[in-house]
Amino acid sequence: MTLNQEPRRTYCLQPTTPKLSLPLGACDTHVHVFGPSSRFPFAASSNAIPADAPKETLYALHQRLGIQRCVIVQSAVHGFDNAASEDAIAHGAGRYLGVALVPLNVSDVELERMASVGFRGVRFNFMKHLAAAGSIEDIVAFTRRLAFFGMHLQVHFESDLIHGLAGPLARSAVPVVIDHMGRVDASLGSEHADFVALRQLMRNPLFRIKVSGIDRISPFEPGQAGPNYTSGIALAQLLVRDFPDRCFWGSDWPHPNHTHVPDDGGLVDALQQIAPDPVVRELLLVRNPHDFYRFEA
């Protein structure tokens, strides 16, 4: 951190308590942990210096929201050092699992070790603000190694990249999880080419998708009366309607690289619109993540 750079808090200190009561075993499949930086230093390559968002704060948030299970996704803030995520998994009493960041040349010994301590997949980013770990062809080839350890591939990409990534990703040797509804611009509607391509891709049973990030893909200007995630909710509704057995939900706490700090209680309450049928909502929050991530009963 430079002398002029102050850590930025990325989460709501007092989120509202949701009005929606979540089903027993509800899972948040997309969060991060930051630090504490005194124990788990941030990567020198990180282009963001957030305030600490440690496991204890995450556990307390989930208790407030009514969430019993979680998948921690390694953040670029810590780079390839997955120690903070691993520590949170280890102290999560079997209710917390993870998705790692690794270089393509990671050893099989390390992949096997990570799988044994609760990492269920590996994530690769194709985002302008993050350095790519490799070409899509190299990453698809890497999935053959993931298959051996029972791990899946998770991808995070700019929405317009879906047209070039769809073909190679369909050759993955393991299931592919797409982050944040492909980061489409929800204000462009369901008929925009990026979202049409996303829905087409999802017709392949190899793919899963996180209906997380309604707050990221909906237009929002800081200073407006309040966040309006209507357009993001509408796209999430379509995905859950069309692919109810292959959708997951995540809060994306603690909301790094964002235009604003969302209220996590409000994100939970949006589930009543995203999945208004309680049976489908239980599928989204409980059964799908339980089966895919292999949580213990």
Domain ranges in the chain are 27-293
List, for residues 237-251, the tens digit of each pLDDT value: 999 999 999 999 999
Our answer to whether residue 252 is catalytic in this structure is: yes
Whole-angstrom CA distances from 293 to 36, 120, 223 are 26, 6, 39
Across 99-125, average pLDDT = 97
Give the separation between CA 218 and CA 232, rounded to whole angstroms: 5
Lowest mean pLDDT among 22-31, 34-43, 95-104: 34-43
Task: Give residue 2's pLDDT.
Answer: 42
CA 52 distance to own-chain centroid: 19
Question: In whole angstroms, how far apart are CA 185 and each of 213, 215, 256, 278?
Answer: 11, 11, 18, 28
What percentage of the chain's residues is helix, strand, coil (to nearest 5)? 40, 15, 50
How high does pLDDT run on average in the chain? 93
Q: Which two tokens stand for residue 224?
A: 């407006």
The pLDDT confidence band at residue 131, using thresholds 50, 70 and 90, is low
- What is the average pLDDT across 28-53? 90
Cβ atoms 197, 166 nearer than 8 A: yes
- The predicted model gives 81-94 an average pLDDT of 97
Residue 130 pLDDT exceeds 70: no
The reported pLDDT for the residue numbered 219 is 83
The superfamily in CATH containing domain 27-293 is Metal-dependent hydrolases (3.20.20.140)
The pLDDT score that the predictor gives to residue 194 is 98
pLDDT of res. 3? 36
Higher pLDDT, 225 or 123: 123
Confidence band of 83 (pLDDT split at 50, 70, 90): very high
- Whole-number pLDDT of residue 228: 78
Choose, from 179, 215, 252, 264, the residue flagged as catalytic.
252
Q: What is the dihedral of CA 140, 144, 145, 150, to 10 degrees?
A: 110
**At CA 18, angle to CA 15 and CA 20, rounded to 5?**
165
